[in-house]
Amino acid sequence: MNPLRVEVTATDGSSRTGRVHTARGSYPVPAFMPVGTRGAVKALDSADLEALGADVVLANTYHLMLRPGAETVAALGGLHRFTGWGGHTLTDSGGYQVHSLTSTVDDDGVTFASVYDGAIMRLTPETAVEAQGLIGADIQMVLDVCSTLPATPQVLRTAVDRTAVWAGRARRHHLRLEARPEGQALFGIVQGGTDASLREESATRTVALDFDGYGIGGLSVGETRPAMLDALAATLPHLPVDRPRYLMGVGDPVGLMEAVALGVDQFDCVAPTRMARHGAILMSSGRLHLRNAVHAGDDGPLDPTCACTTCARWSRGYLRHLLVVGEPTAWRLLSIHNLAFVLGLMAQARLAIAEGRFDALRAQVATVWGA
């Protein structure tokens, strides 16, 4: 019996806080999961993530299957030992690559060309489960079909139907797979684009399969924020309250707070670290563009209100220098700051919910970052 469940300790409207309990332990929600696509968050190591207080890190099945191979990860002790990370891990199935890479989708699965050498790769609901069993994350995701938005009704209908059928195949295979780690959880994924009726249908069909948790996919892929929030509002009432609700691929401050207000528990996104590598800094007062020349002689920290190690030790002028000369150290130091900001925002959300003042935090974030 899988022990994964949500213990809700406080609510404020539809927002909620508590802990997700797993076979490994537990982690607090709402939570943000840094993205370590190839087994590492770009420019950071596991010690950096531990120091930041991250609880869950995401890795990508598609990339790890290609390099170094799921079997190699398994032979080297599984994802935790392989990466030196003792916290929780979650692996995306590769379904997002249906959206982001050139692929051929049929009723049985997906065919890709490797981004590394062009070799043909085949992924089915069953092989995605098997690969993630070998990789050994605490939580694996079903293979789904993620459609770029806007999309025609027929494209969305096909995505919902295929995702539902694949979810059933993945669930059955996961339950009988002997190679998966004991206690490894499997999340289903809800699709449907911005069509409320399709979202409701997809949620109902997915919940009927009794997954350990539920991802909400196919959003933040071209639609407006109001359309995304409407789709979320149509989905969440149909998901069970005792299972985690995971909005995939969202990481902007306003999007995070608005989704938490609707009852989402966890998130992932590459944006904070990608922005850091390009000099876009997340701050309590809004976004700062560090490449701007005005910062060249600034001896102050990136954000005077931030307690991260980057802000405590190095000046804007020095960090800008590293960035403009292409010194990779800049990527690490700025990524540490941006992740500290997002992880800190989630900690603020948890406290605000517990104290019954989440709407005030939500309004403050909207004022700073734009509604």
298 annotated active-site: no
- Radius of gyration over every alpha carbon of the chain, rounded to an integer in angstroms: 20
Which of the following is catalytic: 92, 195, 252, 265? 92
Which of the following is catalytic: 12, 48, 265, 268? 268
Handedness of CA 293, 296, 298, 303 (dihedral sign): positive
252 annotated active-site: no
- Looking at residue 190, its amino acid is V
Task: Return the bridge partners of 213, or none.
Answer: 187
**Judging by DSSP bridges, how do beta strands 185-190 and 139-141 pair with one another?**
parallel
CA distances from 306 to 121, 272, 300, 303, 345 (A): 44, 15, 12, 5, 11
- Looking at residue 32, its amino acid is F
Q: Which ranges of the chain does DSSP label H, i.e. alpha helix? A: 46-52, 61-66, 70-75, 78-83, 96-100, 125-135, 153-176, 196-207, 225-235, 253-262, 271-277, 309-313, 316-324, 329-354, 358-369
First to last CA, the chain: 43
173-212 as b/e, with b when 16 or more CB fall inside 10 Å? bbeebeebbeebbbbbbbbbbbbeebbbbbbebbbeeebb
- Name the residue among 264, 270, 266 with its Cα closest to residue 239: 264
Residue given tokens 């109001």 in the structure block: 226
92: enclosing H helix or E strand:
strand 88-92
**Six-digit token string for 334:** 């700025």
Give the three-state DSSP class for 137: coil
- Looking at residue 227, its amino acid is A
Catalytic machinery residues: 92, 268
